[in-house]
Amino acid sequence: MADKMTYKEYQKYMSDRDLVISLNKANRIKGLLEQPVPPKIDPPKVRIAYSKNDNSYIGRLADGDEVPEDCYVKFEPALY
């Protein structure tokens, strides 16, 4: 998969992976061959800004955004 993956693409990939796993369960019961399961991947990460003073949430930063003063940035899994 591409290095830059949107959360929607990640959900589609994991949905397709779950479908293969489900089909393999059915094939095992029927005595048929299993299909290879795609590897599990980590969700895409996004930049989140937090205040240095009280660790309060400032907001999600886009790729080109500058980091505000008195803030630090953490990379966290995308939830949307």
Would you place residue 9 in the very low, low, confident or very high pLDDT band (cuts 50, 70, 90)? very high
- pLDDT reading at 1 higher than 50: no
Q: What is the DSSP string of 5-48?
A: --HHHHHHHHHHHHHHHHHHHHHHHHTPPPPPPPPP-PPPEEEE
In whole angstroms, give the CA distance from residue 48 to residue 75.
6
Q: Are residues 29 and 1 in the same domain?
A: yes
Quick check: 42 and 77 in contact, CB under 8 A?
A: yes
Half-sphere exposure (CA, 13 Å, Cβ side) for 43? 12
Q: What is the pLDDT of residues 24-59, one digit of tens each?
A: 999 999 999 999 999 999 988 888 999 998 989 888
Quick check: 2 and 13 in contact, CB under 8 A?
A: no
Domain count, the chain: 2
Q: Are residues 33 and 65 in the same domain?
A: no
More confident position, 78 or 16: 16
Mean pLDDT computed over every residue of the chain: 89
The residue segments making up the domain with residue 31 are 1-37
